[in-house]
Structure 1
Amino acid sequence: MEFDWSVVWPALPLLIEGAKMTLLISVLGLIGGVIIGLIAGFARAYGGWLSRNIALVFIELIRGTPIVVQVMFIYFALPMAIPDLRIDPFSAAVVTIMINSGAYIAEITRGAVLSINNGFREAGLALGLSRRETLRYVIMPLALRRMLPPLGNQWIVSIKDTSLFIVIGVAELTRQGQEIIAGNFRALEIWSAVAIIYLVITLVLSFVLRRIEKRMKIL
């Protein structure tokens, strides 16, 4: 079969819509993931025995299971366990990215805050700041700079992970490509276009993140 780019142009509007959905899911999921990750990461780094172990169980459970299993559990299993619960595919996808990325961001957070020299913490306390104020005004600004590169990597991973949500029918980029192929049977061209769109998104994001890191002089 000859490669024919002309079959891609009519499909571009649907592929672009799928790309927008992919980005929306990844952005919303990452925002929630950062919140979850900060809470779990600080619990691991500074929490008491109970909070440390709850966070540890959450992190190991999520990191030890495939994301496709997680989304199928949320979308199919939870409504069976909770009869009144109704979850649409989009919400299931966003929640899955939140939980999945949150577990990895928790370890990013823990590593970043613990990497800050104890001298900064001692200096904050010596200036009369409380332990909480020291964490907020001294440790976190420094830790966030070190967290930025791995957070960018996590965003890229989450963008690619959205392709797995094809199993629950989310109209993201991969799903749109599959539906187009079902109509024109041009798998080679369409999957090539899908791959190029993913590549463009990740390359642009990588470039932007590198510029931000350079501007902030990440150490």
Structure 2
Amino acid sequence: MNIFQKMADIFAKYHQMIFKGIGYTMLVSIIGTIIGLVIGLLIGVFRTMPTPKNKFLRVLKKVADWILSAYVEIFRGTPMMVQAMVIFWGFALINNGVTLNVVFAGLFIVSINTGAYMAEIVRGGIISVSKGQFEGAHAIGMTHAQTMFYVVIPQVLRNILPSVANEFVINIKDTSVLNVIGFTELYFVAYTINSINYQTFATYLLVAIIYFVLTFTITRILRLIEKKMDGKKNYTVQGSQNMDADSILREQTAAGGNGND
């Protein structure tokens, strides 16, 4: 029996377990990315707020900035596997041995980990918006909140879409570390199947192919969405569709000559 026959046999025999693992992997990845984006938006907007003039509010904002900065640095600077172990077993330690629901724990861990990365992505997106747009919005009477909601955030969401898509794909792969808390994602299913049939190479090769198909397909779908949001790259001004470059140049020359008379 060659390797492909072995993989086909494993899939036929354990397909229910495999589909269950795929389902949990996608569930945590999708919800975790969405919640992480919301967390990132809130933190990114807060950290780019103007410093309040009121002394008490200014101190309060500095403290909040420090706490949020610590959160971002800690979760960006430590592996998700370690975070999962600390949060899952740390909760059990302070709760008399009662552990969190594994699915809830997985969602929580992926969400707050993603939120730390999204916070910096969003903050960078806000900073990249030109100062003139803020000044223009304030000039027409918009408050800072209105400027962020109506002017800045729509641009930020569009600009960070590739980063959000990339984070989503990373989460699909990184859910594999949640096996350390017993979460039944795709890698955990592969580990379980291998412990039954001892077909290590065939089992993990099959799962690797499934991961690749998932990430490749989702990446292509997200790129299509991104292109759709971009709209047409080229456009023409109404009335100029039938004018070639020479005609436009002649009109400009004639207009310049008339202006000198």
* TM-score class normalised by the smaller sequence: over 0.9
Corresponding position: 1:181 with 2:194? yes
Residue 38 of structure 2 aligns with an amino acid whose one-letter code is: I
Counterpart residue number, 1:91: 104
Specify which of 63, 74, 77 is matched with residue 61 of structure 1. Answer: 74
CA contact (8 A) 1:108 1:150 kept: yes
Q: Indicate the larger mover: 170-179 or 74-83.
A: 74-83
1:7 match: 9
- Contact 1:43–1:51 (CA under 8 A) maintained in structure 2: no
Which one of the candidate residues 39, 44, 51 is aligned to 1:41? Answer: 44
In structure 2, the CA distance between the partners of 1:50 and 1:181, relative to structure 1 (3 Å rule), is: same
Structure 2 residue 122 is the aligned partner of structure 1 residue 120: no
**1:107 matched residue in structure 2:** 120
Distance in 1 (alpha carbons) for counterparts of 2:127 and 2:183: 38
Q: What SS does the aligned partner of 1:206 have?
A: helix
Residue of structure 2 aligned with 1:192, choices 205, 208, 213: 205
Give the SS at the match of 1:46: coil
Q: Which residue of 2 aligns with 1:149?
A: 162
Find the counterpart in structure 1 of residue 142 from structure 2.
129
Unaligned runs of 5+ in 2: 51-60, 234-261
- SS at the partner of 1:150? helix
For residues 163 and 177 of structure 1, the distance between their equivalents in structure 2, rounded to whole angstroms, comes to 10
Once the two structures are TM-superposed, the CA of residue 27 in structure 1 deviates from its matched residue by: 1.3
SS at match of 2:160: helix
CA RMSD of aligned residues (A): 1.8
Shift of 1:7: 2.2
**Which residue does the alignment assign to 1:18?**
21
Q: Which deviates further from its counterpart, 53-62 or 98-107?
A: 53-62
List runs of 5+ in structure 1 lacking aligned partners: none
- Determine the C-alpha separation between the residues in 1 that align with 2:226 and 2:45: 23
Greater shift, 177-186 or 1-10, is seen at 1-10
Is 2:173 the counterpart of 1:160? yes
Farther-moved stretch of structure 1 (170-179 vs 76-85): 76-85
Aligned residue for 2:229? 216
Do the aligned partners of 1:90 and 1:170 also contact (CA within 8 Å) in 2?
A: yes
1:203 corresponds in structure 2 to 216
Preserved contact between residue 25 and residue 162 of structure 1 (Cα < 8 Å): yes
Q: Report how many residues are paired.
A: 219
7-16 or 127-136: bigger deviation: 7-16
Report SS of the residue matched to 2:211.
helix
User: How far apart are 1:171 and its partner, in Å?
Assistant: 0.9
1:64 and 1:126 mapped to 2: Cα distance? Answer: 41
Q: What is the CA–CA distance in structure 2 between the aligned matches of 1:70 and 1:87, rounded to whole Å?
A: 14
Distance in 2, matches of 1:159 and 1:192, equals 17
Q: Contact conserved, 1:32 with 1:98, CA < 8 A, in 2?
A: yes
Q: Aligned-pair distance for 1:85?
A: 5.9
The one-letter code of the counterpart of 1:7 is: D
